């Protein structure tokens, strides 16, 4: 598909420009995280990417060290005590996602596409149905169709439906719309916190 080549070219240009232009934000955020709590500045986590390949996603650390091992769950929730003071701010402004520009330059992600899932949640790669695996036919994105239609407030079955819809209708015009709708979401600070159960039991373990 010709647009995939154009999309990759745009990803490289825009992510490089993003790193250069937002370098003061990168530096200030890194300093704030370091002063606020002990631990690494960059949080790395394994995610499933293009064609099911596992990669490390980069984020500015917004939680205390070892947060995933506390038994509270994979995702944060309103009032989550694991989130640091600086973490609350950078999450609200989506600044924690900025290091993913480096994932894009490495060819692991795209600006627009299905969000990369954890290697074990909602399912392992082999447990997705053939239909659901279509979401892995393109590079995962920093934002996507699911993120502008509810983001963390919709179940995984619906998220995957949006992901597949995006892939089947992928175009420059649709990417353009998703990009600017994402900016609006960020400015409105909408749908950036999990509000309930995200795994639907109607779509698990190769039921389709």
Pairing of strands 117-118, 42-48: antiparallel
Domain limits for position 150? 2-203
Query: Is the bond leading into 185 cis (omega within 30 degrees of zero)?
Result: no
> Taking CA 160 as the corner, what is the angle to CA 156 and CA 162, rounded to the nearest 5 degrees?
115
Indicate the number of domains in the chain. Answer: 1
Q: How far is CA 135 from CA 20, 23, 65, 75, 93, in A?
A: 30, 32, 31, 21, 27
| Amino acid 69: pLDDT | 63
53 touches 137 (CB < 8 A): no
Would you say residue 208 lies in a domain? no
6 touches 112 (CB < 8 A): no
The pLDDT tens digits along the chain (208 residues) read 799 999 999 999 999 999 999 999 999 999 999 999 999 999 999 999 999 999 999 999 999 876 666 555 555 556 678 899 999 999 989 999 999 999 999 999 999 999 999 999 999 999 999 999 999 999 999 999 999 998 777 899 999 999 999 999 999 999 999 999 999 988 887 655 554 445 554 444 443 3
Would you say residue 156 lies in a domain? yes
Would you say residue 151 lies in a domain? yes
């Amino acid at each position: 598909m010709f647009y995939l080549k154009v999309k990759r070219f745009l990803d490289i240009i825009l992510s490089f420009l993003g790193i250069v232009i937002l370098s003061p934000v990168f530096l200030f955020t890194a300093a704030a995280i370091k002063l606020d709590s002990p631990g690494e500045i960059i949080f790395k986590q394994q995610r499933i990417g293009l064609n099911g390949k596992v990669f490390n996603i980069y984020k500015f650390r917004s939680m205390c060290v070892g947060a995933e091992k506390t038994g509270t769950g994979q995702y944060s929730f309103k009032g989550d005590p694991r989130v640091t003071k600086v973490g609350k701010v950078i999450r609200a402004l989506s600044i924690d996602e900025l290091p993913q520009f480096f994932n894009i330059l490495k060819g692991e992600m795209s600006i627009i596409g299905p969000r990369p899932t954890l290697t074990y949640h909602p399912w392992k790669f082999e447990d997705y149905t053939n239909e659901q695996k279509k979401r892995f036919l393109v590079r995962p994105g920093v934002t996507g169709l699911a993120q502008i239609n509810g983001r963390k407030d919709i179940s995984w079955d619906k998220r995957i439906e949006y992901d597949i819809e995006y892939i089947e209708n992928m175009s420059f015009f649709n990417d353009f719309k998703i990009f600017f709708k994402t900016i609006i979401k960020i400015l409105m600070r909408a749908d950036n916190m999990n509000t309930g159960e995200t795994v639907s039991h109607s779509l698990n373990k190769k039921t389709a």
